Amino acid sequence: MFPTREEGLAFHDRLMAPDATASRDVVLAYLGPLTTFLRGIAAPWTDSTFVHDAAVEALMNYVVRPTRFDPSRLDLAAWLKMAAKGDFFNLLRREAKHHRNRAGPVELGAVAGNDAGAASALDRLVGEEAADAAQADADRTWSDEERECLRLIRDGERRTAVFASALGLAGLAPADQERRVKQVKDRVKRRLARRGKTDG
């Protein structure tokens, strides 16, 4: 169940203050309801990863840039639902485009969450030429989070705290930082896996 309009205004005021714990509390309050909302509009066969990623992306974009939300025009829950719905359909469109552009049989192991496929694709892309190609593709179609994550991966960075800081997650609790960083890294690895299958 979404927080009330008044509770949403209180969350927004805390983010604008800024309150160091507001980001975490917003994510905890809205992630479940947003995910449930997106599941309600998704086709039954839709990969749950897209539902979760879209909900998280909408929330993270809001907590990083709360000024995008105008409380005089819309309830926070309604605004986040609209943002998450847009992110969800953008993810589906990008995925459909990848499949249309891919020659030969479609392999969904990494997309469905098979980290082994993503890891092997990442290993194949450590060469500078392939990494440059991935970066060029990222500059055109990836989100800001994904581009920053790719840059850190290319630099050989492994520390969660560094990723969290670069992705604007420093205000979250350590466990939430680790979970959110893993989600972004997994999304980047899936993109790299898809590129590896297309290129190789």
Query: Quick one: pLDDT band at residue 105, thresholds 50, 70, 90?
Result: very low
Domains and CATH numbers, the chain: 5-98 (1.10.1740.10), 112-199 (no CATH)
pLDDT at residue 154 greater than cutoff 90: no
Percent over 70 (pLDDT), the chain: 73
pLDDT at residue 29 greater than cutoff 50: yes
Q: Two tokens at 170?
A: 């420093």
Query: Quick one: pLDDT band at residue 140, thresholds 50, 70, 90?
Result: low
Whole-model pTM?
0.51
**Contact call for residues 91 and 50 (beta carbons, < 8 A):** yes
> How many other CB atoms are found less than 10 A from the CB of residue 42?
17
pLDDT at residue 147 greater than cutoff 50: yes
Output the pLDDT for position 116: 38
Output the CA angle 61-37-166, nearest 5 degrees: 20
Give the Cα separation of 63 and 171 in Å (integer). Answer: 10
> How many other CB atoms are found less than 10 A from the CB of residue 60?
22
3-class SS of residue 165: helix
Q: What's the DSSP call for residue 127?
A: S
Give the Cα separation of 179 and 24 in Å (integer). Answer: 12
Output the pLDDT for position 35: 92
Q: Two tokens at 77?
A: 């829950």
Model confidence over 172-184: pLDDT tens digits?
A: 888 888 898 888 8
Q: How many CA atoms lie within 13 A of 16 on its CB side?
A: 12
Give 3-state DSSP helix, strand, coil % of the chain, rounded to 5. Answer: 75, 0, 25
Give phi and psi for 79, each to the nearest 5. -65, -45
Output the pLDDT for position 9: 96
